Amino acid sequence: MDRYKIYCAVHLIMIKDNKILLQRRNNPNKYGYGMLGMPAGHLEENENVYDALKREMKEELDIDITNSKIVQVMNLKGETDTYDAYFFNCDFNGEIKNMEEDNSKSLEWIDINSDLKDLIPYEKYALEKYLESEDNKFTIYGWD
């Protein structure tokens, strides 16, 4: 019997001046097309979550991550796959740029107190739990 597979992804919660950095998703072949999403990506083979975050943020935003800290871990049951999603905040060096226009139509700083109705639902839930209390380190989403 094959072991059950869980995918792993990293997400960046970057908040500055009460605004969060989000991407408008631009790829009709990927989940969340047209919605807002956090800068994020999947782990590659033989890569830990910290290295994945550094690589993904360099690829997507052209920044070098420093002082990264896991602020939320989510066990997520999606429509087709199950994920462990790691949400980070961090410091960084460099100027934020949209490096993947085929996947991200735009980068937007959005007021953290706004409705965020266009934010991907599981990311919105993780963000709400993170903002609610620093003690909310683990969440479950999508399970009955």
**pLDDT, tens digit, for every residue of 100-113?**
888 888 899 999 99
The pLDDT tens digits for 14-24 are 999 999 999 99
What single-letter amino acid sits at 10? V
Mean pLDDT value of segment 12-35: 90
Q: Please state, in angstroms and rounded to a whole number, the distance separating the CA atoms of residues 88 and 97.
A: 19
Q: What is the pLDDT of residue 135?
A: 86
DSSP 68-101: EEEEEEEEEE-SS-EEEEEEEEEEEES------T
Domains of the chain: 7-141 (3.90.79.10)
What is the C-alpha separation between 84 and 10, in angstroms, rounded?
9
- Residue 77 corresponds to which amino acid? K
pLDDT at 71 over 90: yes
What pLDDT is stored for residue 132 in this prediction?
93
What is the torsional sign of CA 4, 43, 22, 32?
A: negative
The per-residue pLDDT for 118 is: 94
Beta bridge partners of 130: none
Q: How far is CA 55 from the centre of its chain?
A: 13
pLDDT of residue 28: 77
The stretch 4-16 carries a mean pLDDT of 95
* CA dihedral angle for residue 63, residue 112, residue 103, residue 120, rounded to 10 degrees: 140
pLDDT confidence band for 79 (50 / 70 / 90): confident
